[in-house]
Structure 1
């Protein structure tokens, strides 16, 4: 009997969301790089796959929410094809909004027409340069993570 494959609903291992820009060492409660809470950064290697998956899902949900507030993925197949053609690292098992952010992180300044990548920018952001839009998304992602930490994790003495 062969081992199960992804198509049989076995999820891939959760890799660290660390992007090498950790601000928790500087005293931040939420990392400005990966948006995890400081205790999650510290304890990551001791977490089970299920615990890591919960954190990963929260981060994905927050990022997808912020992305959806700025743009729509109108053609996920085209976006995925472009990511592959441009050799941009992305995680196929994640939602297309996460792919869109991977695209913006990798090359926002090189994109002249988002429609060529299956994206439609919301009307209020169409005049915003894509590198600036990428930075807005990243900042709002951080703010959302920080608000979640303040509301649900912070211990008030």
Structure 2
């Protein structure tokens, strides 16, 4: 199915913090107005949001991890029965793997990736937390730079 016809699934992971006043959701990293209005957006609007989130996550992932064999990663995801969006960047797949089982992976090479030398002393659990934190901070900085300052002027 072409990207233009593909239905964009909600990035919601069921951990929404916009209801308690966050401008950026700590779960899915969407902006509060995107969470609220998601169901009224066109597929193109959803795709734009989804692509921004993917770009931010891939950027953070590539800073800490390196995929050395995407086919092996995909195979392991299948063996481990971890759902992943095959049409997306393999770093998105890798994040799904870490989300599902970072604590069980002892030899990353067997899963098709290696940890950057700067992060080798960190456990994959710690790394997953660092990735999630940086992904949130990147989304928050983007919100403040491009959305928040305009919202303050209106209010």
**TM-score bin (small chain):** over 0.9
Q: How far is 1:10 from its partner?
A: 5.1
SS at match of 2:152: coil
Task: Please tell me the root mean square deviation across aligned C-alpha atoms, in Å.
Answer: 1.0
| Structure 2: runs of 5+ lacking an equivalent | none
List 4+ stretches of structure 1 deviating above 4 A.
8-11
Q: What residue in structure 1 maps to residue 85 of structure 2?
A: 91
Q: What residue in structure 2 maps to residue 107 of structure 1?
A: 101
Q: Aligned equivalents of 1:120 and 1:148: distance in 2?
A: 29
Q: What residue in structure 2 maps to residue 24 of structure 1?
A: 18
Alignment of 1:156 with 2:152, yes or no, is yes
Q: Aligned equivalents of 1:9 and 1:151: distance in 2?
A: 29
Normalising by structure 1, we get a TM-score of: 0.94
Normalising by structure 2, we get a TM-score of: 0.95
More helix by share: 2
Aligned counterpart in structure 2 of residue 40 of structure 1, from 24, 34, 39: 34
Task: Describe the superposition over 1:15-67 as per-residue Cα deviations: whole angstroms up to 9, x where unpaired.
Answer: 00000000000000000000000000000000000000000000000000000
| Structure 1: runs of 5+ lacking an equivalent | 1-5
